[in-house]
Structure 1
Amino acid sequence: MTKRRIDPVTGTETTGHQWDGIEELNNPLPRWWLWTFYATILFSVIYVILYPAWPLASRATEGVLGWTARNDVAREIAEVDASQAQMREALVTTDLSALDRNEPLLAFATNAGAAVFRTHCSQCHGSGAAGAPGYPNLLDDEWLWGGMIEDIAYTVRHGIRNEADPEARWSQMPGFGDMLSRDEIATLVAHVQALPGGQDPLAGPGGALFESNCAACHGADARGERTMGAPNLTDAIWLYGNSDEQLTDVIANGPFGVMPPWGGRLREAEVRAVAAYVHGLGGGEAPVADGTE
């Protein structure tokens, strides 16, 4: 360690540090800097006393003011809820089929439903609602259980094939792996793949197999049955894919997709809002005209 000494030019004591022959002078800190430093220490002590500061095992010190950011957020949410209470009440009491006749309410429901969708639905159906293997595309006009806004709301409220809600929509495709031979399944795979191209469901090598094993749910015309959630096999929309391997797996093992019920986790206004949002994505169906206003 270099011995401290008095710099002969400035008359100031050195710190004893030296770099490349240059010695560091031990000048005192400016007063304004010291007072600023002391002020930050005082501010920190006061802050620790007034506000949450030190993390503990399961919480943090609360501070004498009792302030938390969570309380601020909760207050802001409550304020927004209060400002929207009238619109939410109107949404709950309005017939969903007539929602499109009230443009302000429809706009509110669509915007609110978009937020609900991003929070609770996008994980399975995708942020753009285009779906994924096993999760339906909500942008097309093909609906397993019906695409009218009331149908969508019911599906959201009660879910599909879950055991949590006794009113959940329920159907099950059996696995034919133990009932049909591998050759028969391969024949059915080829037959089903040809249906979107115009193949007669009851004709050809797979027609008899289709009639005896598939027509009961999918219909003799293969156009599906919504009351059972049986998809239309004559379009080009495939929930689990249409490769030989994918169709073989579906026929042999039977898919069993489950959607949880959201009626117990979302408010009724939120259920209706997300139904309105999904219905408006481009594939929602309009009520069948009955000649009345």
Structure 2
Amino acid sequence: MSEKHVDEVSGVSTTGHEWDGIRELDNPMPRWWLWSFYATIVWAAGYTIAYPAWPLISDATRGVLGYSSRADVRGEMAAAEAQKAGYMADIASSTVPEILANDALRQVAIAGGAAAFKVNCVQCHGSGAAGSAGYPNLNDDDWLWGGSPEAIQQTITHGIRFAGDDDTRQSMMPAFADILDAGQIAAVASFVASLSGTPSKPALVEEGRAVFADNCAVCHGADAKGNVELGAPNLTDALWLMGGTEAEIARQVQSPRHGIMPAWGARLGETTVKELTVFVHSLGGGQPSTD
């Protein structure tokens, strides 16, 4: 057996490994490091005895201390459910204005309403409640049927033009193709477009004003600012449900499209409807309570 090589500078034996003339010193590990390493081995052995550690076929070793992280989670969830049950009972027994006046209840209702909205409402109003053509944007302050908490609750509960609910919101714009000729429809479309922008045919505006006064003001108002009692939209704010170009306005006058919203009261229950009401009211366009 050959003698170990000893480094001339340090006087320490080498391991016998050599790379390009460089040899590795055979220094022993520091004592503190070795004892720390041994301590971790002892700790690991004790941990596997005290706590759940080794997986079995359908379970795991339980540990002598009987600790269970799942039991901890179940306990935390039970406590959260108990707290939630208290809030839900308060929401169920409170009116929407009372919920809005209680900051803790309002926050819980908003969270519950946001969850219910994602399940039931995003299909039409979008994930951000911004709506799309024919589906109202719930973030702005333009409301067909009113944006007070009471009005929103009524709309959600009974829907709009929903055949299965006797208290549903009802209004039907007539098809003016049976009442007005093509020239009158073009004129009134130009007038309506002029209320929030520049019409393509300004010469028709005055004629359209007269047509509007005779046929449209009864629902939309003489000032064209709408009527929430009838679901008649404000025509002066450049916010359009079915499109705001003159061609789109004329098409709506000629043969109007009428949206339908389900009545959610029977399907979701009063408490969830309250949560949805508070959530929608919180989006930014909600109006003050009428109570």
Answer yes or no: same fold by TM over 0.5.
yes
Consecutive unaligned residues of structure 1, counting only runs of 5 or more, are 1-42, 47-76
Counterpart of 1:93 in structure 2 is: 93
Deviation at 1:267, TM superposition (A): 2.0
- Cα distance in 1 for residues equivalent to 2:238 and 2:285: 15
Cα distance 1:177–1:81, how it changes in 2: closer, same or farther (>3 A)? farther
Aligned-residue offset at 1:196: 1.9
Write the distance in 2 (CA, Å) between the matches of 1:227 and 1:164: 21
Quick one: distance in 1 between partners of 2:221 and 2:151?
Answer: 21
Which has the larger Rg?
A: 2
RMSD over aligned Cα atoms: 2.5
One of 230, 233, 240 as aligned partner of 1:231: 233
Q: Secondary structure at the match of 2:277?
A: helix
Query: Quick one: which amino acid aligns to residue 157 of structure 1?
Result: T
Name the counterpart of 2:175.
Answer: 175
Q: What's 1:222 paired with?
A: 224
Aligned partner of 2:278 in structure 1 is 276
Whether the 8 Å contact between 1:218 and 1:225 is mirrored in structure 2 is yes
Find the counterpart in structure 2 of residue 153 from structure 1.
Answer: 153
Alpha-carbon distance in structure 1 between the residues aligned to 2:146 and 2:78: 36
8 A Cα contact 2:117 2:276, kept in partner: yes
- Contact 1:225-1:232 at 8 Å conserved across structures: yes
Structure 1 match to 2:109: 109
The 10-residue stretch of structure 1 (118-127 or 82-91) with the greater mean CA deviation from structure 2: 82-91
Distance 2:94 2:210 in 1: 49
CA distance in 2, matches of 1:251, 1:78: 57
Which amino acid counterpart does residue 263 of structure 2 have in structure 1?
P
Q: SS of 2:206's equivalent? A: coil
Aligned 1:258-277 pairs, distance under 5 A: 258-277=260-279
Q: Give the counterpart of 2:287 among 282, 285, 288.
A: 285
Distance 2:189 2:176 in 1: 12
Equivalent residue number for residue 205 of structure 1: 207
The number of equivalent residue pairs is 214
CA displacement at 1:84 relative to structure 2: 2.5
Report the TM-score when normalising by structure 1: 0.68
Return closer, same or farther for 1:198/1:147 CA change in 2, 3 Å cut-off: farther
Q: Runs of at least 4 residues of structure 1 off by over 4 A? A: 77-83
| Separation in 2, partners of 1:246, 1:138 | 22
Q: Distance in 2 between matches of 1:167 and 1:178?
A: 29
Matched residue, 1:27: none
- How far residue 225 of structure 1 moved from its aligned partner, in angstroms, is 0.6
CA distance in structure 2 between the aligned counterparts of 1:282 and 1:238, rounded to whole angstroms: 18
SS of alignment partner, residue 130 of structure 2: coil
Corresponding residue of 2:244: 242
Query: Cα offset for 1:246?
Result: 1.4
Supply the AA of the counterpart residue of 1:102.
Answer: N
Q: 1:198 to 1:139 in 2, by over 3 A?
A: same
Partner of 2:47: none
| Structure 1 residues 64-103: Cα deviation after superposition (integer angstroms, max 9, x where no partner) | xxxxxxxxxxxxx999766522211211221212323211
Q: Secondary structure at the match of 1:260?
A: coil
Structure 2: stretches of 5+ with no match in the other structure: 1-56, 59-76, 200-204
CA displacement at 1:255 relative to structure 2: 2.0
Give the conservation status (yes or no) of the 8 Å contact 1:198–1:234. Answer: no
